[in-house]
Structure 1
Amino acid sequence: MLVARTNYAGLTAAQHAAREWASGSLGDSVTVEGVLMVPDQPGRLPKSLRHLAQLVAGGLPRSWTAPWVESWRFGPLDPAELPKGLGAVFSDLSLHPIVPRT
């Protein structure tokens, strides 16, 4: 899975990675299931970034968009409190969140 911030640098990096994967130059050793887009700020993306995000998503088997979670900026992620929007990522990929030991 590729993970991209939804700013220009993150989306273009994901686009380059997707192109390299799609070209077959990586061989059979790399499988990309899709891209998870992580917001770089709250609110709707500007039109130019929305368009770029759609281009990136269109070149991959699947795409997901994480919701903006303010608390992720200030502390560690608590897997027990993942937003509903991320549940699809885990179920689509048959994954289970790892809860860190305390």
Structure 2
Amino acid sequence: MNQSLNPWITSPATGTETEASAMEPRRPPAATITGPLRGMVEPDAADRLGHRPVTGTATVWVAGVHGGAGESRLAGILDGARPTEHAWPVPNRDQDQDHGRPAVVLVCRSDMRGLKAAQSALIQWASGAAPDVELLGLAVLADAPGKLPKALREFAVLVGGGAPRLWLLPWVESWRLGDTGAGPPAREYQRFATDLAALTN
């Protein structure tokens, strides 16, 4: 795959290459962004994700970028994960000196509002305006049953180009009905959990 296609780094050369990259939803297209980018301008203050002091430890902090993103739901199915209440986690360095940077997964819904909120949070991180965290990636949870419309899927992949990794996670009907004990669909969510376990061990 051509490593110059990530629109967060360079513009795509042809439409054909962009379509090909969209066939790989688990990874952003082209070169992977692993940290802040030189020259990236931070978003307006109103569009930034807040900072929240946290205590204790977590294998991964799950940060929803908007209300209803699903951060508590995801944190509940991941071993050792904790939600951040829609903010970047800022650990108490006096208590957590041996734990390094907090590992964070951003979470949004797959509607346009959710994806734009994720885009703003990723711009904040890429500009260096976020706290010092290890961003593992962006998880996009389906906002409705059925297949994601093409325009939203393409935009999700575009937004995901600003994260080290992208996971597109399907709708879970039992969660909608309030069945908190029912597990999520096996394949996509188990793969997501496996990926995070490998990244945080």
Amino acid at match of 1:5: R
1:58-97 → structure 2 map (5 Å cutoff): 58-78=161-181, 81-84=183-186, 85-94=188-197
Is the aligned partner of 1:51 residue 2:157? no
Q: Which residue of 2 aligns with 1:100?
A: none
Consecutive unaligned residues of structure 1, counting only runs of 5 or more, are: 96-102
Consecutive unaligned residues of structure 2, counting only runs of 5 or more, are: 1-104
For CA contacts below 8 A with separation 6 or more, give which structure has more relative contact order: 1
Whole-Å separation in 1 of the counterparts to 2:180 and 2:115: 23
Is the aligned partner of 1:26 residue 2:130? yes
Structure number with greater Rg is 2
- Asked if the contact 2:138–2:163 (Cα under 8 Å) also holds between the matched residues in 1, the reply is yes
Question: In the TM superposition, what is the alpha-carbon distance from 1:76 to its structure 2 partner?
Answer: 4.2
> SS at the partner of 1:65?
strand
Question: In the TM superposition, what is the alpha-carbon distance from 1:63 to its structure 2 partner?
Answer: 1.0
Which is helix-richer, 1 or 2? Answer: 1
TM-score by length of 1: 0.80
Whole-Å separation in 2 of the counterparts to 1:76 and 1:70: 9
Amino acid at match of 1:8: M
> SS at the partner of 2:136?
coil
Whole-Å separation in 1 of the counterparts to 2:177 and 2:157: 29
TM-score by length of 2: 0.43
Structure 1: which 4+ aligned runs deviate by more than 3 Å?
Answer: none
Q: Structure 1, residues 10-41: CA drift from partner, whole Å, max 9, x if none? A: 0000010011111112242x221111111111
| Percent identity for Structure 1 against Structure 2 | 46
